[in-house]
């Protein structure tokens, strides 16, 4: 399991309890902590998968290349 220090998280378990309560779902603080741990870990795993995916690298390289072409379009290159 990947650990993110609780102070670095934007959504705290307390906030999750309040948000869910507004929508009629009552959960304990312990359940909220487990839910937030799961969600943060899932987010990290998902980002790592995208970052390490070769297709995504090619997509970003193509996008950067297109931005450079547009930026220097019509300018003389020595």
The DSSP result for 33-64, as a single string, is: HHHHHHHHHHHHHHHHHHHH-HHHHHHHHHHH
Mean pLDDT of the chain: 82
pLDDT at 77: 56
pLDDT at 76: 64
Let me know: does 50 contact 56? Beta carbons within 8 Å.
yes
Residue 1 above 70 pLDDT? no
d(CA 66, CA 57): 14
pLDDT at 27: 96
Let me know: does 11 contact 5? Beta carbons within 8 Å.
no
pLDDT at 2: 55
Distances (CA, A) of 50 to 2, 20, 39, 40, 76: 17, 29, 17, 15, 37
Please give the model's pTM, rounded to 2 decimal places.
Answer: 0.58
């Amino acid at each position: 399991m990947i650990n993110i220090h609780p102070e670095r998280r934007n959504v705290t378990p307390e906030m999750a309890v309040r948000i869910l309560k507004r929508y009629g779902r009552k959960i304990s603080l312990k359940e909220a902590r487990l839910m937030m741990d799961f969600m943060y870990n899932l987010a990290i795993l998902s980002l790592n998968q995208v970052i390490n995916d070769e297709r995504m690298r090619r997509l970003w390289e193509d996008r950067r290349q297109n931005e450079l072409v547009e930026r220097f379009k019509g300018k003389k290159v020595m």
